[in-house]
Structure 1
Amino acid sequence: MNNTVDELTVDYEEDGILKIKEIDKEVLSKGAWATVLFRYREWQENDTYGPDRYVIRRYKKSGGEYRQQSKFTISSNDQARRIVDALSRWMSDEDAGERK
């Protein structure tokens, strides 16, 4: 059960193997709707975990429990860097506009 945002995870176990292992998470918003950014690794065929991956998930609290409503998986480190770069540029532009 996921009664609080802190209990939300992407960990996934199958046949006694942790197939998706959460490395870290950042809660972006809380409340009736919660948004969480997860950093995780997936179990590979060669019995090791692959590279870091990232996903943003939106949850809605219903009946006292959070249920996933949507997700966006960041497909590569390059895509993650481009998102960070764009947001940084836009925020810098916005900050510059506020100073004018």
Structure 2
Amino acid sequence: MAKKSMIITGESLARQGYCRISKRKNIVARIDVENWVELLAAHFGKTLHQMFTEILANPGYYEDLFRREWSKDQLDVSLTTARTVPSSFGCAVGYEEKDTPSA
């Protein structure tokens, strides 16, 4: 039964924009700021239009880069959970709202 709850947890993490950034260390991360494209544009010295053009030309590349290098929302998860979260490589999921924990 624990395996099923981990799968549900993995699906829940994926809905919140988490992707697996390390298969070996079972780390998942998400794009944790809404203005992530603006931050990338400033980093690369591009206009927003140029940055969006680059993102559309390379689906998943910049999203993966942001999750790996700049995201502060990274979690260590179990091996089973990590396997149920999609890989960050080529994943074009951008910023997603995080579920609020119920009290």
TM-score range, shorter chain: under 0.3
Q: Decide which structure has greater strand share.
A: 1
* Higher relative contact order (Cα pairs below 8 Å, separated by 6+ residues): 2
TM-score by length of 1: 0.26
Higher alpha-carbon Rg: 1
TM-score by length of 2: 0.25
Q: Decide which structure has greater helix share.
A: 2
